[in-house]
Structure 1
Amino acid sequence: MLSRAALRTVAARQSASTALVARGSATDSGVRDEKNFPRPVRGEPGKVRLGFIPEEWFQFFHSKTGVTGPYTFGVGLATYLFSKEIYVLEHEYYTGLSLLVMVYIATKKFGPNLAAWLDKEVESVEKDWNAGRQQTITDLQEAIENEKKAQWRAQGQEQLIEAKKENVLLQLEAAYRERVMNAYSEVKRRLDYQLEKANVERRLSQKHMVEWIVANVTKAITPDQEKQTLDRCIADLSALAAARK
């Protein structure tokens, strides 16, 4: 029993040290290296004979003395202790023997049920621990998915902002083109006004010039010149009429 307790203590210490090393064995990405640092597994108790003697002790004798070696060694050792009175069979011995028989009977009668109940309790505790761990993993996975969705939404917001900027640039371009068109229309209207004004002034100048020339020419013609011109015209007309005849 003491040897098994010692072995369990050593195994527990080894598993604890393995767990400590495994905590620091995460890679740069934060994921545990399951291959080089596997998770500790709950150890199962080894096989025993006669209710308390480890199977390893019998295997130790098998390679040297055969199958009956451990039993022969045990009986011979007990005989030697009894014969040399190293172990005295006093009344406490018989009391212990009676208790051993009672414990053996109780173990055979209640042991399987108790072992099954304890196994269920151990499995329940382990299940609770694994459930908490699995729940933590599930929560972390959900957090990762939510973070990915948040990043995706942030990218969508960036695209929306870019679209709004492009829309503002288009509005500015439209306003610029509208103002350029207004400036063009105003300049063209004023140039058309100046052109029309220049045309009107030129026509008025021509009209006044013609009237002035006609008036001055009319004033320069004397009554004798007018009479001569009229007679010449009549003569020309008469000559034309005679030529036609």
Structure 2
Amino acid sequence: MLSRLVLVSAPVLKNGGSFGACAVQASRSLHTSEQKKAPVPPLPEKGGQTRHGIIPEELFTLLYPKTGVTGPYMLGTGLLLYLLSKEIYVVNHETIAAASIGAVIIYGVKKFGPSVAAFADKLNEEKVAKAQEVKDLAMTNLTQAIEEEKKEQWRVEGRQMLFDAKRNNVAMLLETNYRERIHMVTNEVKKRLDYQIELQNLHRRMEQEHMVDWVEKNVIKSITPQQARPSLRPCTH
């Protein structure tokens, strides 16, 4: 039936090349999706439950709705009897050796399994503790880096105020320098004006002294000895 279906559908698929291309493209798009962005499921801390040491519990729960409680055991027994009756598996000395080795393994697991499991759990706990320590250290460093970044952002925000204060200081220095220069120019002009005033006063004083000297000399020259005697006579008495 399946071979007939394949023979009948082969010409249709051959003529419908676009459908085949679409199917191939769809399959490629499904297989080339970004799996790296999918969330990783967490690893179980403990293994699943088993029966008889090796048979998973999920197998029994899967067969219970179809076969009931005894279904898995009947399936296992029937499969074993089928293998033995059809001589698919022949019991020989290797079977006895395998049973002996299995018994030794089971005994070793029962005897040393708890101590080995405890040792493995201890190693696992140490690894988890080291990983947690590294994680906590990384989180602390990242938190400190975030705080430093926030502080730097706060400093950047306050930098504008600092620049404004520096601009005001520069403006005040320029204004102070300008006023000092005006004061210096005013003092220099005042000194020159004072010099001119003193120079004029000196000229006036020298002219007055010269005039006084000239008048005195002329007055003295104009006095004759006859005019000086009457004036000197009262002084001698």
Tell me the SS of whatever aligns to 2:119: helix
SS in 2 for 1:116: helix
Distance 2:148 2:142 in 1: 10
Q: Residue 95 of structure 2 is aligned with which of 59, 69, 93? A: 93
> Aligned partners of 1:39 and 1:130: how far apart in 2?
19
- When residues 19 and 129 of structure 1 are mapped into structure 2, their CA distance, relative to the original with a 3 A threshold, is farther
Number of residue pairs the alignment of both structures matches: 170
Among candidates 49, 52, 57, match of residue 51 of structure 2: 49
Using the size of structure 1 for normalisation, the TM-score is 0.54
Q: Compute the displacement of 1:195 (Å).
A: 9.8
Structure possessing the higher relative contact order (Cα contacts under 8 Å, 6 or more residues apart)? 1
What residue number does 2:173 align with?
171
What is the CA-CA distance between 1:186 and the residue it aligns to? 5.9
In the TM superposition, what whole-angstrom CA distance separates every residue of 1:58-117 from its partner, at most 9, and x where no partner exists?
A: 112101111111011112222232233332221221221122222222222222222232
Deviation at 1:170? 0.8
Q: Which amino acid aligns with 1:169?
A: A
> 62, 65, 80: which one pairs with 1:63?
65
**Cα separation, partners in 2 of 1:127 and 1:20, compared to 1, 3 Å:** farther
Secondary structure of 2:72's partner?
helix
Question: What residue is the counterpart of 2:112 in the other structure?
Answer: 110
What stretches of structure 2 of length at least 5 have no aligned partner?
A: 1-32, 205-237
TM-score, normalisation: structure 2: 0.56
Q: 8 Å contact 1:48–1:55 — kept in the other structure? A: yes
Aligned 1:12-161 pairs, distance under 5 A? 21-22=36-37, 38=39, 40-44=41-45, 45-153=47-155, 159-161=161-163
Say whether the 8 Å CA contact 1:19–1:40 is kept in structure 2.
Answer: no
Q: RMSD of the alignment, in Å?
A: 3.7
Cα gap change, 1:118 to 1:81, in 2 (>3 Å):
same
Task: Identify if the C-alpha distance between structure 1 residues 19 and 112 changes in structure 2 by more than 3 Å, giving closer, same or farther.
Answer: farther
State the distance in 2 between where 1:84 and 1:185 align.
Answer: 132
Task: Deviation per CA, 1:109-148: give whole Å up to 9, x if none.
Answer: 2222222322332333344334334433332332232333
1:211-222 alignment, distance < 5 Å: none
Structure 1 residue runs of 5 or longer lacking an equivalent are 1-17, 23-36, 202-245
* Matched residue, 1:34: none
Alpha-carbon spacing, 1:165–1:133, altered in 2? closer, same or farther (3 Å): same
Q: Residues 40, 130 of structure 1: CA spacing in aligned structure 2 closer, same or farther, 3 A cutoff?
A: farther
Number of the residue aligned with 1:209: none
Cα shift at 1:190: 7.1
What is the distance in 2 between the residues matched to 1:50 and 1:172? 96
In the alignment, the residues of structure 2 paired with residue 189 and residue 51 of structure 1 have an alpha-carbon distance, to the nearest angstrom, of: 118
For 1:222-237, list aligned pairs within 5 A: none
Q: Secondary structure at the match of 1:67?
A: coil
1:169-208 superposed Cα distances (whole Å, 9 cap, x missing partner)? 21221222233345456667877999997xxx9xxxxxxx
Query: Sequence identity of aligned pairs in percent?
Result: 45
Note the C-alpha offset of 1:38: 4.4
